Amino acid sequence: MEKKKFLVCIDSDGCAIDTMEGKHKRCFAPLMVKTWGMQEHGEKAEEIWNRISLYSMDRGINRFKGLEMTLRECVDAGFLQEDLTDLREWIGSTDILSNQSLEEQIGKTGSPILKKVLGWSVASNRAIAALPESQMFDGVKEALDMMNRYADLAVVSSANREAVEAEWERHGILPYVKAVMTQDCGSKAVCIARLMEEGYEGDQVLMIGDAPGDQKAAEKNGALFYPAVIRREAESWKRLLQESFSCFLNGTYRGEYARQLTEEFWEALK
């Protein structure tokens, strides 16, 4: 396939596909309450989970880091008695926060809390797999169809490859992308860097995402960032199609225009 001048990287969860609310509100949060026996304060505990993982600058945070932060708040609020030391130490000791790396740590330490964390994580995966099929945000297909004429498109996601490819295939948007970069390729910043090795300049690369981590990954590579603003995702895709993508192509995106978008994006996460 011939290389185009521009590259657009697209996050999947919570950006192109509406998966975030279901995963967090119906799986991670209630299963945390169950695993740590917090039913009496379940509503409060779930609210803390959702605030951290969905509605803050930490949106999109790794599940284990989000769990540690949430449990810490529950302990501080006085309705959970749990020693979080082993969890904190494991998080601080590895770059790979996955069930497999957690299993290895349990093998080494036999830590009871880490066993609980693994049980919760496995149960969450099972619950997520059983969720009804997720929807694509309105306007995604139209935007991809239009951008594809001017730019190479790639998925950049921290989810697993099989899940992302299956979802994009099911929604009929997989044919628009030239590459699918997922957790097996490394962090999002590494994925963008690898795609840019094909020869795109920073101002010719746009990362579309719904989390501050997506923005950081773009900035690390000198690339531009377009936010899918939470609760206004469809509107965001429409604006991209009608306005922002032209700014990107004609070189007026960086600077004041990008700054305004970022401001709006951060405001929605407060």
Q: Which is nearer to Mg ion, 111 or 182 (CB)?
A: 182
Q: Which is nearer to Mg ion, 68 or 210 (CB)?
A: 210
| 211 touches 60 (CB < 8 A) | yes
Check binding of 86 to Mg ion (CB under 5 A).
no
Segment near Mg ion (CB under 5 A), from 13-21, 31-39, 46-54, 144-152? 13-21
Check binding of 233 to Mg ion (CB under 5 A).
no
Q: Which is nearer to Mg ion, 49 or 90 (CB)?
A: 49
Segment near Mg ion (CB under 5 A), from 8-16, 124-132, 144-152, 237-245? 8-16
Segment near Mg ion (CB under 5 A), from 14-22, 47-55, 108-116, 181-189? 14-22
* Closest residue to bound Mg ion by CB: 14
Least distance between Mg ion and beta carbon 217 (Å): 11
Q: Which residues, other chains included, contact 48 with Cβ-Cβ below 8 Å and sequence gap of 6+?
A: 70, 73, 74, 77
Answer for which of 11, 58, 167, 233 binds Mg ion (CB under 5 A) is 11
Angstrom distance (rounded) from CA 191 to CA 9: 9
Q: Which is nearer to Mg ion, 14 or 66 (CB)?
A: 14
| 214 touches 60 (CB < 8 A) | yes
Which residue is listed with tokens 């929605």? 268
Least distance between Mg ion and beta carbon 59 (Å): 8
Measured CA angle at 217 (ends 216, 220), to 5 deg: 80
Crossing angle of helices 112-129 and 63-77, in 10° steps, is 120
**At residue 246, what is the residue type?**
S
Answer for which of 10, 14, 63, 253 binds Mg ion (CB under 5 A) is 14
Q: Which is nearer to Mg ion, 10 or 224 (CB)?
A: 10
Angstrom distance (rounded) from CA 91 to CA 270: 26
Least distance between Mg ion and beta carbon 223 (Å): 16
With b meaning 16 or more CB within 10 Å and e meaning fewer, what string describes 189-211? bebbebbbeeebeeebbbbbbbb
144 alpha carbon, distance to own chain's centre? 19
List helix spans (H) across the chain: 20-23, 29-35, 42-53, 63-77, 85-93, 99-109, 112-129, 140-147, 161-170, 188-196, 212-220, 233-239, 245-250, 256-268
| 60 touches 14 (CB < 8 A) | yes
Check binding of 58 to Mg ion (CB under 5 A).
no
Q: Which is nearer to Mg ion, 13 or 68 (CB)?
A: 13
For Mg ion, the binding residues in 171-230 under the rule CB under 5 A are 210-211
Q: Which is nearer to Mg ion, 249 or 268 (CB)?
A: 268
Answer for which of 6, 13, 154, 195 binds Mg ion (CB under 5 A) is 13
Q: Which is nearer to Mg ion, 71 or 136 (CB)?
A: 136
Least distance between Mg ion and beta carbon 12 (Å): 7
**Can you give the binding site for Mg ion, defined by CB under 5 A?**
11, 13-15, 210-211
